[in-house]
Amino acid sequence: MINKIVSSLILITGILGLFFVSCAPERREEATDLLTDTMIAEDMEMTDENVGEMISGVPNPVEMSVLLQRSDVVYSQDLLNPDGNINNYNTNFKRALNLGVYGTDLVYMNIYDRTVTTLSYLRNVQELADDLRIGQFFDYETLNRLSESSRNVDSVLYITNRGFDNMTRYLIDQGRSSIAVLIAYGTWIESLYIAANIRTMPPNKERIHQRIGEQKIVLDNILLLLNNYRNDPNFNDLFNDLMDLKEEFDKVSISYVYEEPETKVVDGNLVVVDKSRSEVNINQEIVDGIADQVNYIRNKIID
């Protein structure tokens, strides 16, 4: 089971909305693909509630980024999607995917306190969100003012988390849940790409490999989401790529180890502590196979 990181860091789920207020000198061409939910076949259709719940179940990128930082993994700018690639994204399909990618890169940079290098990435995230007509859910002026200092990070994360939640609900209500799915897909792939390609050393190497192996469960849920939109050839392509990735993840075994729960008194109340856990069986060869397929998928996304 994937552990959730508590405290204010969890608010970084909404880092995708951490947008810079300045505008680019010129706008890219308007996308022609509408990306509404009309492509969903009746026999595949999930309810809006199902889609929203499954999207919220995709791990936010802070979890992996925090793990890497706490494991003393050296920051690598070379792993990020070059900021100049934004000029290649002239369809809503590519913009939604790369909104997830650039948002994850922002998380990675902010966790490592690389605030000086975030400027162009903030601008890219803003432009992509505006192009997708979902930038209205974020207070750009306030975010720009607060983001000038790392001391305001909690406030920034609260505002952006709220904006991201509103954005997802809006997309689903407007029959555009496919865009929310693409953003989540791009976020997850980029997080997995970074984790699978950083240089690790024992013993923290094993911790990171365990977290990669845990993504087997997430992959199954994302496949269910994508299957909902497979009438669209682009989504079908993403689905098929993930099926190839699934072949690598099928080599990972996850077992549930039951242990007797512990009871203790906290603040005068009796609390039951679940001590059961999941064990992930994964090795370097499996990680290398996962990395190869993830790299292939990610390079298609950012191309």
Span 176-191, pLDDT tens digits: 999 999 999 999 999 9
d(CA 248, CA 242): 10
Span 219-276, pLDDT tens digits: 999 999 999 999 999 999 999 999 999 999 999 998 877 677 777 777 777 777 776 6
Give the pLDDT of residue 15: 41
Cβ(68)–Cβ(194) under 8 Å? yes
Q: Is 205 helix (H, G, I), strand (E, B) or coil?
A: helix
Please state, rounded to an integer, the average pLDDT across all residues of the chain. Answer: 80
| Secondary structure E strands in the chain | 253-257, 262-266, 269-273, 277-281
Cβ(197)–Cβ(111) under 8 Å? no
List CB contacts of 210: < 8 A, sequence separation 6 or more: 280, 282
Residue 157 has pLDDT above 60, yes or no: no
Q: Give, as one character, the DSSP assignment of residue 276.
A: -
Bridge partners of 280?
254
Of residues 64 and 116, more confidence is placed in: 64
C-alpha dihedral sign at 292, 10, 98, 123: negative
Residue 22 has pLDDT above 60, yes or no: no
* Count of Cβ atoms closer than 10 Å to residue 141 Cβ: 9
Cβ(147)–Cβ(48) under 8 Å? no
- pTM listed for this prediction: 0.81
